[in-house]
Amino acid sequence: MHFIPPLDPASSINAETRRLSLDRLSEEPVDVVVIGGGVTGTGVALDAASRGLSVALLERDDLASGTSSKSSKLVHGGLRYLAKGDVGVAWESAVERAHVAGRIAPHLVRPLAQVVPVYRHDRGNGLLAGLGFVAGDILKVAAHTKPGLLPKPRKVGRDRTLSLAPTLDPDGLVGGVVNWDCQLEDDALLTLALARTAAYHGAHVLTRCRISSVNNTGVTFIDGLSGETGSISARWVVNATGVWAGSLDPSLTIQPSRGTHVVVRSAALRGARASLTVAVPQHFGRYVFSLPQSDGTTYLGLTDEVVQGPVPDAVAAPDDDVRWILDIISRPLARPLTMSDVVGTYAGMRPLVLPEGSEEATSDISRKHVVDREDNLITVTGGKLTTYRRMAQDAVDLLTDRPCHTTEIPLVGAGPDPVACDAPDRLRQRYGSEAGTLWTGADGEERRTIVSGYPAHRLEWRFAVEHGLTLTPEDLLDRRTRIGLQPPLRAEAMQAAEQLTAG
């Protein structure tokens, strides 16, 4: 297995590589243009480039600026699909989880305990969850998940349940059921690691380039920085624009569904490291979770609401969604969480592909991905973050007979760290094998935090600008770090972000 050396120039993408790529692409045709820099598009770019095709990826905004920075950040084994009887989708999730956690990006993935509390008045809830967890465990083993990564699900007593979720109401609590799944450090970081690994394999990666039209010979685009129009000749075009895929391939009907998350300080749940998992009444197999993050916050989510009308560029989290999440998660708590606990929110749109004539609720539409071909345009959408690799493989299989080997390609940061040092855990969890080089290369000033009250170091932003195609203050605040989720911290950090991305 080949590991990419830390900060290898071939894996660095920045304003300068963007400029050089634009020059090259104005003269040289490529085999494939990939449209969309989410997890799917970056996955396609890596797959195609690693099979020896010449590739240009164009994203209209920032990498992961669409749905891929707004997920629940779970690389999950497909339990929720099992509950709906969608065994094929559940199996694919379990297999892909094993690839991502095993070889592709083990540094970005960690086990997460999920606790379903069982109360005297509702023992059936624990029984149902337990049955689902056992089925999920069978899939885990069959999918060759790295042994020891995820412990077996089990029933736990009342005291253990309370130690895992200390804010539960102890009155009537008889115990709990614990399951283990995989949590990503950050979905935007996974997307960036995919883009950098694609660049290492020769792909051109360009952000702030919006595709305005696709034709038989390639694409035209508008450079969002210069305002100029350009064109790229390509044999194939892959449309990986997620929820916006219908605008380039009108044969598909995409029904966006809004998923909202609420951000609270982890202290509001007394620092619980486990994910509290609460059943949504009258919705079989549907849960609201708490998802503790490594930055001292916990996300609570999530909703599944149809977005009516034309697909907007972005969605905000409505107060009704926030109240619904707080209401469900608070049901088993001794003290309900309220609006005053909320420090931020975010919402994203699921790209659900609507079968013709479908009248299903969005939560019932299959999460199976779709690959559609119209002449030289391949559209790949639907699916989920966990299965991005399989989606990319299915799309690129239509372009070439050369075999796919992305299950064997570790992303940048996935190898052993060659520098022995005392880099903080935060850096190891986010940058893996590059953490030591980053930490030893930073002076005292850069080792300080960007703002007080948030654990990100200044060196992280410099790294993002030099190696992570970061062009605007929003890229730094909202995707290279999550400072931007908390409005007061965002305001405090804005000036530093502006200075770093100026010119």
Ligand X SMILES: Cc1cc2nc3c(=O)[nH]c(=O)nc-3n(C[C@H](O)[C@H](O)[C@H](O)COP(=O)(O)OP(=O)(O)OC[C@H]3O[C@@H](n4cnc5c(N)ncnc54)[C@H](O)[C@@H]3O)c2cc1C
Rule CB under 6 A: which residues touch ligand X? 35-41, 58-61, 65-68, 70-74, 76, 210-211, 240-244, 259, 302, 348-351, 381, 383-386
Q: Contact at 8 Å (CB) between 369 and 230?
A: no
Pick between residue 225 and residue 496 the one whose CB is nearest to ligand X.
225
Whole-number Å distance between alpha carbons of 281 and 176: 18
Helix (H/G/I), strand (E/B), else coil: 489: helix
Pick between residue 73 and residue 99 the one whose CB is nearest to ligand X.
73
Residue with tokens 């094998």: 433
| Residue 153 C-beta: closest distance to ligand X, Å | 19
Question: Hey, how many other C-beta atoms are within 10 angstroms of the C-beta on 257?
Answer: 20
Angle at which helix 187-200 crosses helix 39-50, to 10 degrees, equals: 20
- φ/ψ of residue 132, rounded to 5: -60, -45
| Residue 357 C-beta: closest distance to ligand X, Å | 23
Pick between residue 188 and residue 493 the one whose CB is nearest to ligand X.
188
Pick between residue 4 and residue 385 the one whose CB is nearest to ligand X.
385
Whole-number Å distance between alpha carbons of 181 and 74: 8
Q: 122 Cβ partners below 8 Å, 6+ apart?
A: none
- Regarding beta strands 305-306 and 254-265, do their DSSP bridges make them parallel or antiparallel, or are they unpaired? antiparallel
CA angle, 477 then 482 then 483, to 5°:
65
Pick between residue 262 and residue 427 the one whose CB is nearest to ligand X.
262
Q: Contact at 8 Å (CB) between 64 and 39?
A: yes
- Regarding beta strands 30-35 and 55-58, do their DSSP bridges make them parallel or antiparallel, or are they unpaired? parallel
Helix (H/G/I), strand (E/B), else coil: 71: coil
Whole-number Å distance between alpha carbons of 359 and 257: 14
Q: Contact at 8 Å (CB) between 219 and 230?
A: no
Helix (H) or strand (E) holding 44: helix 39-50
| Residue 258 C-beta: closest distance to ligand X, Å | 7
Pick between residue 161 and residue 241 the one whose CB is nearest to ligand X.
241
| Residue 444 C-beta: closest distance to ligand X, Å | 37
| Residue 181 C-beta: closest distance to ligand X, Å | 9
Question: Hey, how many other C-beta atoms are within 10 angstroms of the C-beta on 80?
Answer: 20
Q: How far from 205 is each of 197, 247, 431, CA to CA, in Å?
A: 10, 22, 20
Pick between residue 96 and residue 417 the one whose CB is nearest to ligand X.
96
| Residue 314 C-beta: closest distance to ligand X, Å | 9
| Residue 247 C-beta: closest distance to ligand X, Å | 7
Pick between residue 39 and residue 95 the one whose CB is nearest to ligand X.
39
Pick between residue 175 and residue 242 the one whose CB is nearest to ligand X.
242
| Residue 475 C-beta: closest distance to ligand X, Å | 12
Cis check: omega of the bond before 302, within 30 degrees of 0: yes
| Residue 387 C-beta: closest distance to ligand X, Å | 7
